[in-house]
Amino acid sequence: MESLDDKRSNIVKRRLFKELIDSTINNHINMKYNHLNNHLNNCIVESIKYTEDNNIIVCIKDEFYKERNNYEFVLNLFYPFHPPIVKIDNIAYTDFLIESNKKQLKELANINCFCCNTCTYSKNWLGTMTISYIIKEMKYYREIRKLFIIKLLCKKISDKYLNSDIDFFKWGF
């Protein structure tokens, strides 16, 4: 008779297998038909490891980015009902989400806080969310960070070279 941990482990393995197969099929379709656009383009599952405490570690490399492109998902026995632990280049995803200027974040994306809005936050997690959903969110947050940096650079340029009576941000953003 199977123990409860063995049953949970089998459930997690089946769910993970389904997610990865769906992702692999989508990537194959996208490679064959370039007009299809999927957020998981350029993502490759590098390895799947099983730990002694029945966790599953999935390592994914995102070929789109040159740095911070190695994602690690630690799935426990309660996945998909509990969010995975996510790391980007061995840095906790929650550390990546820390943002100091919340006012700018609110203006750019109408988000108060990355940490409170992430799907990996246990209060926001749903059993229907998948690894691909987390990757899409990470890419979205990266784009917001890029916009944030662009806005800061534009402010520096406008402060230095433009007249103060021109409201560049209302015109440009």
Quick: pLDDT tens for 62-79.
877 777 788 999 988 888
What's the mean per-residue pLDDT of the chain?
76
Work out the angle at residue 33's Cα, subtended by the Cα atoms of residues 27 and 37, and round it to the nearest 5 degrees.
60
Instruction: Please provide the distance, in angstroms rounded to a whole number, between the alpha carbons at the two ends of the chain.
Output: 62
**pTM, full prediction:** 0.70
Show me where the domains of the chain are located: 4-164
DSSP 8-state code for residue 120? T
Give the residue-averaged pLDDT of 24-37. 41
